[in-house]
Amino acid sequence: MKAAITSKTYDYLDQRNAEFDSDFDEFIKNTTALKESIAQTIEDNYKGIWETTHGVKFLNRFAKVSKKIPLKQMSDKYLRIIKYCDKEVDKVLKVFKKQKQNPPVPRNFPPLAGRISWSRALLNNLKEEVESVSTHPLLKSLPETAELKKKFTYVSISLNDYENQILQIWMNHNVWSAEKSLRKKLLILDEKSDEIKINFDFKIKLMIREAECMRQMDLPSPAMTLILLSKSEHFSKIQNLLKDLLREFLATVKKVKLEVRPLFLPQLVRLSAMLSPAFTTLDWTNPGWKEFVNKVYDAIKDFDILVTR
Protein backbone atom coordinates (compact mmCIF):
# COMPACT_ATOMS: atom_id res chain seq x y z
CA MET A 1 0.00 0.00 0.00
CA LYS A 2 2.86 2.35 0.81
CA ALA A 3 4.61 1.56 -2.48
CA ALA A 4 1.43 2.23 -4.44
CA ILE A 5 1.36 5.76 -3.03
CA THR A 6 5.03 6.69 -3.11
CA SER A 7 5.57 5.33 -6.63
CA LYS A 8 3.24 7.89 -8.21
CA THR A 9 5.05 10.58 -10.21
CA TYR A 10 2.23 13.03 -10.86
CA ASP A 11 1.58 16.25 -9.01
CA TYR A 12 -0.79 15.55 -6.11
CA LEU A 13 -1.86 19.20 -6.01
CA ASP A 14 -2.92 19.30 -9.66
CA GLN A 15 -6.70 19.54 -9.44
CA ARG A 16 -7.08 18.60 -13.11
CA ASN A 17 -5.41 15.24 -12.53
CA ALA A 18 -8.25 12.69 -12.51
CA GLU A 19 -5.80 9.85 -11.82
CA PHE A 20 -5.35 11.09 -8.24
CA ASP A 21 -9.07 10.72 -7.53
CA SER A 22 -8.97 7.14 -8.75
CA ASP A 23 -5.88 6.34 -6.68
CA PHE A 24 -7.40 7.99 -3.61
CA ASP A 25 -10.56 5.90 -3.91
CA GLU A 26 -8.39 2.80 -4.19
CA PHE A 27 -6.41 3.88 -1.11
CA ILE A 28 -9.60 4.33 0.94
CA LYS A 29 -10.81 0.94 -0.25
CA ASN A 30 -7.56 -0.73 0.78
CA THR A 31 -7.39 0.94 4.21
CA THR A 32 -11.00 -0.01 4.86
CA ALA A 33 -10.22 -3.61 3.95
CA LEU A 34 -7.17 -3.51 6.23
CA LYS A 35 -9.22 -2.18 9.14
CA GLU A 36 -11.82 -4.88 8.59
CA SER A 37 -9.08 -7.52 8.50
CA ILE A 38 -7.57 -6.21 11.74
CA ALA A 39 -11.01 -6.06 13.33
CA GLN A 40 -11.73 -9.66 12.35
CA THR A 41 -8.37 -10.81 13.72
CA ILE A 42 -9.10 -9.10 17.03
CA GLU A 43 -12.59 -10.59 17.16
CA ASP A 44 -11.28 -14.09 16.45
CA ASN A 45 -8.48 -13.90 19.01
CA TYR A 46 -10.66 -12.55 21.81
CA LYS A 47 -14.01 -14.13 21.05
CA GLY A 48 -13.95 -16.21 24.25
CA ILE A 49 -12.83 -13.47 26.62
CA TRP A 50 -16.35 -12.18 27.27
CA GLU A 51 -17.31 -15.27 29.26
CA THR A 52 -14.45 -14.82 31.74
CA THR A 53 -13.60 -12.56 34.68
CA HIS A 54 -11.48 -10.44 32.31
CA GLY A 55 -14.42 -9.44 30.12
CA VAL A 56 -14.98 -5.99 31.64
CA LYS A 57 -11.27 -5.13 31.54
CA PHE A 58 -11.07 -5.97 27.85
CA LEU A 59 -14.29 -4.10 27.17
CA ASN A 60 -12.54 -0.83 28.02
CA ARG A 61 -9.70 -1.68 25.66
CA PHE A 62 -12.09 -2.64 22.88
CA ALA A 63 -13.94 0.65 23.33
CA LYS A 64 -10.71 2.55 22.71
CA VAL A 65 -9.76 0.40 19.72
CA SER A 66 -13.23 0.76 18.20
CA LYS A 67 -12.62 4.48 17.75
CA LYS A 68 -10.04 3.58 15.10
CA ILE A 69 -10.97 0.06 14.07
CA PRO A 70 -14.62 -0.77 13.26
CA LEU A 71 -15.23 -3.58 15.77
CA LYS A 72 -18.57 -5.28 15.34
CA GLN A 73 -21.41 -6.01 17.73
CA MET A 74 -20.16 -4.16 20.81
CA SER A 75 -23.68 -4.32 22.26
CA ASP A 76 -23.54 -8.10 21.98
CA LYS A 77 -20.36 -8.08 24.04
CA TYR A 78 -22.13 -6.09 26.76
CA LEU A 79 -24.84 -8.71 27.03
CA ARG A 80 -22.34 -11.59 27.00
CA ILE A 81 -20.46 -10.07 29.93
CA ILE A 82 -23.63 -9.53 31.94
CA LYS A 83 -24.86 -13.02 31.10
CA TYR A 84 -21.57 -14.48 32.31
CA CYS A 85 -21.83 -12.61 35.62
CA ASP A 86 -25.43 -13.71 35.95
CA LYS A 87 -24.35 -17.33 35.55
CA GLU A 88 -21.65 -16.82 38.18
CA VAL A 89 -24.24 -15.51 40.64
CA ASP A 90 -26.42 -18.55 39.99
CA LYS A 91 -23.38 -20.80 40.35
CA VAL A 92 -22.38 -19.33 43.71
CA LEU A 93 -25.95 -19.57 45.01
CA LYS A 94 -26.14 -23.20 43.94
CA VAL A 95 -22.80 -24.02 45.60
CA PHE A 96 -23.85 -22.23 48.77
CA LYS A 97 -27.15 -24.09 49.09
CA LYS A 98 -25.50 -27.42 48.37
CA GLN A 99 -22.48 -27.08 50.67
CA LYS A 100 -23.58 -24.78 53.49
CA GLN A 101 -24.27 -27.69 55.85
CA ASN A 102 -20.82 -29.15 55.31
CA PRO A 103 -18.66 -26.62 53.45
CA PRO A 104 -15.07 -27.25 52.29
CA VAL A 105 -13.25 -25.53 55.15
CA PRO A 106 -9.93 -23.91 54.15
CA ARG A 107 -6.76 -25.68 55.24
CA ASN A 108 -5.69 -25.05 58.86
CA PHE A 109 -9.03 -23.43 59.71
CA PRO A 110 -11.22 -24.66 62.58
CA PRO A 111 -14.86 -25.56 61.80
CA LEU A 112 -16.70 -22.32 62.64
CA ALA A 113 -14.11 -19.82 61.43
CA GLY A 114 -13.62 -22.01 58.37
CA ARG A 115 -17.31 -21.78 57.50
CA ILE A 116 -17.25 -18.01 57.74
CA SER A 117 -14.07 -17.83 55.67
CA TRP A 118 -15.70 -20.05 53.04
CA SER A 119 -18.85 -17.91 52.82
CA ARG A 120 -16.80 -14.72 52.67
CA ALA A 121 -14.68 -16.11 49.85
CA LEU A 122 -17.83 -16.87 47.85
CA LEU A 123 -19.17 -13.37 48.43
CA ASN A 124 -15.92 -11.48 47.81
CA ASN A 125 -15.20 -13.20 44.51
CA LEU A 126 -18.74 -12.56 43.32
CA LYS A 127 -18.82 -9.00 44.61
CA GLU A 128 -15.76 -8.02 42.60
CA GLU A 129 -17.27 -9.28 39.36
CA VAL A 130 -20.71 -7.74 39.89
CA GLU A 131 -19.28 -4.38 40.94
CA SER A 132 -17.07 -4.28 37.86
CA VAL A 133 -20.24 -4.56 35.77
CA SER A 134 -22.54 -2.33 37.82
CA THR A 135 -20.00 0.52 37.92
CA HIS A 136 -18.93 0.33 34.29
CA PRO A 137 -19.98 3.46 32.34
CA LEU A 138 -21.38 1.46 29.43
CA LEU A 139 -22.97 -1.38 31.39
CA LYS A 140 -24.44 0.18 34.52
CA SER A 141 -27.43 1.73 32.73
CA LEU A 142 -28.54 -1.47 31.00
CA PRO A 143 -31.73 -3.14 32.31
CA GLU A 144 -29.90 -6.49 32.43
CA THR A 145 -27.43 -4.97 34.90
CA ALA A 146 -30.28 -3.91 37.17
CA GLU A 147 -31.55 -7.50 37.23
CA LEU A 148 -28.05 -8.73 37.94
CA LYS A 149 -27.74 -6.41 40.93
CA LYS A 150 -31.07 -7.62 42.35
CA LYS A 151 -29.97 -11.24 42.12
CA PHE A 152 -26.59 -10.43 43.66
CA THR A 153 -28.29 -8.60 46.54
CA TYR A 154 -30.30 -11.72 47.33
CA VAL A 155 -27.18 -13.91 47.32
CA SER A 156 -25.29 -11.36 49.39
CA ILE A 157 -28.02 -11.28 52.04
CA SER A 158 -28.08 -15.09 52.15
CA LEU A 159 -24.32 -15.31 52.68
CA ASN A 160 -24.31 -12.55 55.30
CA ASP A 161 -27.15 -14.25 57.18
CA TYR A 162 -25.17 -17.49 57.11
CA GLU A 163 -22.13 -15.74 58.57
CA ASN A 164 -24.25 -14.19 61.32
CA GLN A 165 -25.72 -17.59 62.19
CA ILE A 166 -22.27 -19.15 62.52
CA LEU A 167 -21.09 -16.17 64.55
CA GLN A 168 -24.02 -16.55 66.95
CA ILE A 169 -23.15 -20.22 67.43
CA TRP A 170 -19.60 -19.16 68.25
CA MET A 171 -20.60 -16.41 70.66
CA ASN A 172 -23.15 -18.60 72.46
CA HIS A 173 -21.17 -21.82 72.79
CA ASN A 174 -20.44 -23.20 76.24
CA VAL A 175 -17.11 -21.55 76.99
CA TRP A 176 -17.18 -22.69 80.60
CA SER A 177 -16.45 -26.24 79.50
CA ALA A 178 -12.91 -24.94 79.11
CA GLU A 179 -12.61 -24.74 82.89
CA LYS A 180 -13.19 -28.47 83.17
CA SER A 181 -10.66 -29.12 80.43
CA LEU A 182 -8.03 -27.00 82.18
CA ARG A 183 -8.51 -29.06 85.34
CA LYS A 184 -7.22 -32.14 83.59
CA LYS A 185 -3.81 -33.34 84.75
CA LEU A 186 -0.69 -32.54 82.76
CA LEU A 187 0.12 -36.13 81.84
CA ILE A 188 -1.91 -39.24 81.14
CA LEU A 189 -1.09 -42.88 80.48
CA ASP A 190 -2.56 -44.09 77.21
CA GLU A 191 -4.18 -47.43 78.04
CA LYS A 192 -3.98 -48.69 74.47
CA SER A 193 -0.32 -47.97 73.82
CA ASP A 194 0.98 -47.74 77.43
CA GLU A 195 2.64 -44.49 76.45
CA ILE A 196 2.83 -41.36 78.57
CA LYS A 197 1.13 -38.51 76.74
CA ILE A 198 0.59 -34.82 77.33
CA ASN A 199 -2.99 -34.35 78.47
CA PHE A 200 -3.89 -31.02 76.87
CA ASP A 201 -7.55 -31.14 75.86
CA PHE A 202 -8.20 -30.76 72.14
CA LYS A 203 -11.21 -28.57 72.98
CA ILE A 204 -8.88 -25.90 74.35
CA LYS A 205 -6.72 -26.05 71.24
CA LEU A 206 -9.82 -25.71 69.09
CA MET A 207 -11.20 -22.76 71.03
CA ILE A 208 -7.88 -20.95 70.86
CA ARG A 209 -7.59 -21.56 67.13
CA GLU A 210 -11.17 -20.42 66.55
CA ALA A 211 -10.54 -17.21 68.51
CA GLU A 212 -7.32 -16.59 66.61
CA CYS A 213 -9.01 -16.96 63.22
CA MET A 214 -12.01 -14.89 64.29
CA ARG A 215 -9.68 -12.09 65.33
CA GLN A 216 -7.95 -12.23 61.95
CA MET A 217 -11.36 -11.74 60.32
CA ASP A 218 -12.19 -8.83 62.69
CA LEU A 219 -14.92 -10.83 64.41
CA PRO A 220 -15.64 -10.93 68.16
CA SER A 221 -15.11 -13.83 70.56
CA PRO A 222 -16.45 -14.61 74.05
CA ALA A 223 -14.43 -13.09 76.89
CA MET A 224 -13.41 -16.49 78.26
CA THR A 225 -12.10 -17.55 74.87
CA LEU A 226 -10.09 -14.35 74.55
CA ILE A 227 -8.48 -15.17 77.88
CA LEU A 228 -7.52 -18.59 76.55
CA LEU A 229 -6.13 -16.95 73.43
CA SER A 230 -3.98 -14.63 75.54
CA LYS A 231 -2.63 -17.71 77.35
CA SER A 232 -1.91 -19.70 74.19
CA GLU A 233 1.85 -19.11 74.35
CA HIS A 234 1.82 -20.12 78.01
CA PHE A 235 0.11 -23.42 77.19
CA SER A 236 2.45 -24.03 74.27
CA LYS A 237 5.45 -23.43 76.50
CA ILE A 238 4.25 -25.99 79.05
CA GLN A 239 3.54 -28.55 76.33
CA ASN A 240 6.96 -28.09 74.74
CA LEU A 241 8.73 -28.40 78.08
CA LEU A 242 6.78 -31.54 78.95
CA LYS A 243 7.52 -33.00 75.53
CA ASP A 244 11.25 -32.39 75.98
CA LEU A 245 11.07 -33.73 79.52
CA LEU A 246 9.44 -36.99 78.47
CA ARG A 247 11.90 -37.39 75.60
CA GLU A 248 14.82 -36.92 77.99
CA PHE A 249 13.24 -39.25 80.54
CA LEU A 250 12.74 -42.09 78.05
CA ALA A 251 16.16 -41.62 76.47
CA THR A 252 17.85 -41.86 79.87
CA VAL A 253 15.86 -44.92 80.92
CA LYS A 254 16.72 -46.69 77.66
CA LYS A 255 20.41 -46.24 78.41
CA VAL A 256 20.08 -48.95 81.06
CA LYS A 257 20.75 -52.28 79.37
CA LEU A 258 18.24 -55.05 79.90
CA GLU A 259 20.71 -57.39 81.57
CA VAL A 260 21.55 -54.86 84.31
CA ARG A 261 18.13 -53.25 84.59
CA PRO A 262 17.18 -55.29 87.72
CA LEU A 263 20.13 -53.73 89.51
CA PHE A 264 18.76 -50.25 88.81
CA LEU A 265 15.17 -51.12 89.66
CA PRO A 266 14.98 -49.03 92.89
CA GLN A 267 16.43 -46.00 91.12
CA LEU A 268 14.09 -46.48 88.15
CA VAL A 269 11.10 -46.65 90.48
CA ARG A 270 12.16 -43.46 92.25
CA LEU A 271 12.74 -41.69 88.93
CA SER A 272 9.36 -42.78 87.60
CA ALA A 273 7.72 -41.62 90.82
CA MET A 274 9.03 -38.13 90.12
CA LEU A 275 6.45 -37.93 87.31
CA SER A 276 3.60 -38.72 89.69
CA PRO A 277 2.50 -35.10 90.39
CA ALA A 278 1.78 -34.57 86.68
CA PHE A 279 -0.62 -37.53 86.80
CA THR A 280 -2.30 -36.71 90.11
CA THR A 281 -2.15 -33.08 91.24
CA LEU A 282 -0.77 -30.73 88.60
CA ASP A 283 -3.28 -29.35 86.10
CA TRP A 284 -3.05 -26.59 83.47
CA THR A 285 -3.92 -23.86 85.97
CA ASN A 286 -1.38 -24.92 88.59
CA PRO A 287 1.79 -22.78 88.70
CA GLY A 288 3.68 -25.68 90.25
CA TRP A 289 4.57 -27.04 86.82
CA LYS A 290 7.85 -25.07 86.79
CA GLU A 291 9.10 -26.62 90.01
CA PHE A 292 7.96 -30.04 88.81
CA VAL A 293 9.88 -29.78 85.54
CA ASN A 294 13.05 -28.61 87.29
CA LYS A 295 12.91 -31.42 89.86
CA VAL A 296 12.40 -34.11 87.24
CA TYR A 297 15.24 -32.74 85.13
CA ASP A 298 17.54 -32.81 88.17
CA ALA A 299 16.50 -36.39 88.91
CA ILE A 300 17.10 -37.41 85.29
CA LYS A 301 20.54 -35.82 85.38
CA ASP A 302 21.46 -37.64 88.60
CA PHE A 303 20.21 -40.95 87.22
CA ASP A 304 22.13 -40.42 83.98
CA ILE A 305 25.34 -39.85 85.95
CA LEU A 306 24.69 -43.04 87.90
CA VAL A 307 24.11 -45.08 84.73
CA THR A 308 27.18 -43.64 83.04
CA ARG A 309 29.38 -44.60 85.97
Q: pLDDT tens-digit profile of 10-64?
A: 666 666 666 666 766 667 676 666 556 655 655 555 555 445 555 566 566 556 5
Question: Could you tell me which of 67, 80, 51 has the C-alpha nearest to residue 139?
Answer: 80
pLDDT in tens, 163-180: 999 999 999 988 888 999
Question: 125 φ, ψ to 5°?
Answer: -65, -40
Select the more confidently predicted residue: 30 or 148.
Answer: 148
Contact 177, 268 (CB under 8 A): no
Confidence of residue 203 (pLDDT cuts 50, 70, 90): very high
Note the pLDDT of residue 239. Answer: 96
pTM: 0.76
Tell me: the pLDDT tens digits for 250-277?
Answer: 998 888 877 777 777 888 889 899 999 9
Instruction: Pick the closest to residue 183 from 287, 286, 293 (CA basis).
Output: 286
